[in-house]
Chain A
Amino acid sequence: MLARRYPVLVEPEELLSMLNRGDHSDGGDNGVVLIDVRKEEDYMQGHIPRAVSLPLARVLESMDPRQLHMLFKRLGVDDSKHVIVYDDTFGALAARVAWALEYIGHEKVSLLSITYGRWSSLGYGIERGAGRVDQQHEGYTLADVSADHSILATYDYIQAILEGIKQLQQGKGTSTSTGKRVLLDVRERLNYLDHHIPYAVNIPWKAFTGEERILKPIEEIDALLSYRRISRDDEVIVYCGSVGTLSGLSYYALRLAGYSNVRLYARSLKEWRSLNLPVEGFKDAHYWDLSAE
């Protein structure tokens, strides 16, 4: 996988100037498609001007690249467009949608660096109502539909990794690549201690998020990973508890910090558990009782 040519994060000011350059008399969009992934009713109540609505749930309906293509195509996304995604849920929903675009081979995608809530509280403009509905995009055809499997991890992919680690530990297998493979569980600490995929390490997803921005500065993310001896040569597989949202955000934290070999286990622990695949946990303490909730 190559280093990204498009920034992971777009700042509000950058977004404004991207949207406002040139004139829009022809209905042009300056090569930008801004996607709001919140629920439709939230979008109706207010969104960033020129944003189109695509609730996350629609994206989660299918992992089929063709269907995903159709979904984005209808919003006006084609190969030439720079897509910018935002949400109001720490950036996690936006991240999952952005990842889906990358998965179908669209690399020109960025996340807005702040949430919608912060955007409006900072006094940037908003717009109400249905916004743009771009039926005319129906006619576009996209380049061949193929998925980028290098950023996806499936359960059998992970099973194979676990097998490899086991072999290595027993001194049977040999390490093939320069880096190692790291399974990264980004759920909260207590959930992780309770159970997790064997060999996974834990960095709670909040450790990647800033107080005001959806991700911490690169140096801080970098420090976190280096404390855990995770290097840029390693392949990192991120997962969370449900549908790859919180892990999606963590995926972009790693990408932001220049870790290019990252995969998202999009179906995450929800699928893993439903398949009754092995988990391990730490049972010698009653740590749950420490939780004040």
Chain B
Amino acid sequence: MQKHQERSIKHTHESEGGGGREQWGLPEEVTSVEEMIRLYREGKVSDDEFRRFRLQHGMYGSRLNQNYTMIRIKVPAGILYPEQLIRLAKLSEDFSIGSVHVTTRQNIQMHWVYLDDAPAVEKGLVEVGLTTREACGNTIRNVTCSPFAGVCMNEPFDVTPYAKALARFFLRNPMCQNLPRKFKFNFACCDEHSYARIADVGLVPVLKHGADGRSIRGFRVYIGGGLGPASYLAELLEEFTPEDMLLSTCMAVVRLFDRLGDREKMHRNRMRYLVHDMGFERFRELVLKERRAVEMTRSVLAKLYIREIKVDAPEMGQDAMVVELRPFNMPDGFDRWVKSNVMDQRQKGYAVVFIPLPAGDVTARQLRALAGICREFSHEGHVITTPTQGFALRWVMKSRLVELYRRLSEAGLANHGALSIASVVGCTSTTSCNLAITNAHRLAKEIRSRLIELGLDMDESLKDATIKLSGCPNSCGQHMIATIGFFGAAVRINNSLTPAYNMLLGGKVGKDSALGRVVARVPAKRIIDVILRLIDVYREERLEGESLASWIDRVLDGKGTGKIKGIDDLKPIIEEASRLPPPAEDPESYVDYGSDSRFIVRTARGECAA
């Protein structure tokens, strides 16, 4: 009895129409942002104090310019409602650059905001339920969640309510206001779509069938992962953590990190280093012990409010898979779009539509169009930001896809290739980030348009391959988990400082998560050639039905069967495609994308612009 009571206070299930719309922002925080900026301008708070405050409220310094700030909006589980999209549009026109940027961690960023205007932006966000609180800084960052959660074919249950509840629990929670470093949670929908192993805590839903025939919800919990100059995959803490121990488990990990994490060495203070230095088994024991302590001592208020989501959508009887759709009035490009952007969802008759954005950028006009489209076409009434820097529109009736395609096309949002190799990710890099060496953002856009131009988004054998770029080793572009990944570097070639990238192969998320291996260094202006060359070689070498990603894995394993036995056979080919003529003959190749002047490296103090 005692036990039972305790459980019910740790965990509350509620059912609520509309899925429980969260108000993340707080009006008081507008006033405090206003006040702090004023005091800072009057010289009444120190730079350090202001910086800490600023980061806690989602503001990063802009590249080499103190007057501007980037404002990051924390979007738990990536959920954005139409009014919020419209507001983002207006705020971006009024105070930013007329477009916003979707990040790999499902946040929204507004760039080049004048620091002093931040309170006005904050106010506009809070009014529609959004917040920047704890989007940056040494705290619990945005709780990310698979964009398939709730509609995934493989998922045992929808984790979205758990992601929102956990985000709600930790937001502004005193226990995580001053961690040694940032801390990231991720919820997967299933193993296949899982990003769980690159988070500090990754959670994959599992159903366990009890002896009495009832099933119990729980999670497979991974801890200690993360990407950066040194990346680690998270390790398995437990095969099954029942849902009523989810919170105590998460709290235990955060508390341990808070207590034991390194607060001195800025570059080694993510939890993954702690786990690594201590040894996983030892860390695991400590977590389990800490969890017992949490279970004994935590306040009755510490609980998760799980609000089950009910989508108001008519049930559909018959169904056709999206690949079989052949509407008689099929407009140009529709078939290609369906193949590369649309997926069946678990619920009969409905589909998930992906809206890829060039390196995550979307204009105010497009945001407004998307708001209208969302209202009309999505039965759940919101969009979701994706880890590939785009949007997902879910609960769309398959019978309305043609109409939707037309509407998206009008708004320039029906770009092809969302679920293909052409969905290239690039961090903001030299467009706004203080740490950037190269312009990965622009390069990502260039690669993407080239691949689309060549129709490679249509190639089934390339479909499971991904390309991701970061402008420096920090990995905001998640290059470590790409089939073909790149991170920016400056290299002296023919006596000239040249924008270049380290190239990695073989990274992936999902069931067999793996980190990429650095195989070469390629000048920025040769990246596209190298990618295309690699695809050519693959086409010559592949086994029947083998995908690019599998072939790369086989080569990395030294099990190639043709001319390319192992990576050492591939390296010379990449090197050849990377070669540059002397600067005098081809000055363009020594200049970075998006730039018309000589390449120089300029960076400032990092605030960790992940």
Contact = CB atoms under 8 A, between A and B. Distances in A.
Contacts of B120: 207, 220, 223-224, 227
A202 interface: yes
A202 B94 CA distance: 11
A292 B441 contact: no
Contacts of B64: 284-285
B131 interface: no
Nearest to B90: A211
Nearest to A211: B90
B98 A190 contact: yes
Given A224-B120, A286-B430, A291-B97, 17 more contacts: A188-B93, A188-B98, A189-B98, A207-B95, A207-B117, A227-B34, A228-B116, A285-B65, A285-B430, A285-B432, A286-B439, A287-B111, A287-B432, A289-B445, A290-B428, A292-B357, A292-B363
B30 to A, nearest CB: 11
Given A189-B96, A211-B90, A286-B595, A224 B430 contact: no
Interface of B: 34, 37, 41, 62-65, 90, 93-99, 101, 111-112, 114, 116-117, 119-120, 357-358, 361-363, 366, 428, 430-432, 439, 441-442, 445, 592-595, 597, 602
Contact of B65 (A204, A227, A284, A291): A284
A140 interface: no
Interface in A208-227: 211, 220, 223-224, 227
In order of increasing CB-CB distance, the 7 nearest A-B pairs are A292-B361, A207-B94, A286-B594, A289-B442, A292-B99, A284-B64, A285-B63
Contacts of B119: 223, 227
A140 to B, nearest CB: 43
Contact of A193 (B34, B112, B594, B602): B112
B56 to A, nearest CB: 20
Contact of A202 (B98, B114, B428, B432): B114
A282 B65 contact: yes
A204 B442 CA distance: 25
Interface in A177-199: 188-190, 193
7 contacts: A211-B90, A286-B594, A287-B63, A289-B445, A292-B357, A292-B358, A292-B362
A286 B37 CA distance: 27
Contacts of A223: 119-120
Contacts of B431: 285-290
A222 B65 CA distance: 26
A158 B117 CA distance: 26
A207 B114 CA distance: 12
A220 B91 CA distance: 13
Contacts of A283: 597
Contacts of B93: 188, 204, 206-207
Nearest to A224: B120
Nearest to A228: B116
A228 B431 CA distance: 24
Contacts of B358: 292
Contact of A290 (B90, B101, B366, B595): B101
Contacts of B65: 282, 284-285
Interface in A258-293: 282-293
Contacts of B111: 287, 290
Interface in A221-258: 223-224, 227-229
Given A211-B90, A284-B602, A289 B99 contact: no
Given A189-B96, A284-B64, A285-B63, A291 B361 contact: yes
Nearest to A292: B361
A45 to B, nearest CB: 24
Given A189-B96, A282-B65, A284-B65, A290 B432 contact: yes
A285 B62 contact: yes
Which one of A286, A288, A291 has the greatest number of beta carbons of chain B within 10 Å?
A286
Contacts of B94: 204, 206-207
Contact of B63 (A224, A284, A288): A284
Contacts of A292: 99, 357-358, 361-363, 366
Contacts of B63: 284-285, 287
A189 B97 contact: yes
Which one of B97, B111, B119 has the greatest number of beta carbons of chain A within 10 Å?
B97
A227 B118 CA distance: 9
A290 B431 CA distance: 6
A233 B34 CA distance: 22
Nearest to B439: A286
Contact of A291 (B41, B99, B593, B602): B99
A290 B117 contact: no
A290 B99 contact: yes
A211 B91 CA distance: 11
Contacts of B439: 286, 289
Interface string A154-174: 000000000000000000000
Contacts of B41: 229
Nearest to A288: B594
Nearest to A220: B120
A288 B430 CA distance: 10
Contacts of B432: 285, 287, 290
A19 B367 CA distance: 39
B112 A287 contact: yes
Contacts of A288: 431, 594
Nearest to A287: B431
Which one of A220, A229, A285, A293 has the greatest number of beta carbons of chain B within 10 Å?
A285
Contacts of B112: 189-190, 193, 287, 290
A223 B122 CA distance: 13
Which one of B37, B96, B357 has the greatest number of beta carbons of chain A within 10 Å?
B96
A87 B307 CA distance: 49
A193 B595 CA distance: 15
B387 to A, nearest CB: 19
B291 to A, nearest CB: 43
Contacts of B430: 285-286
Contacts of A224: 117, 120
A163 B338 CA distance: 61
B438 to A, nearest CB: 10
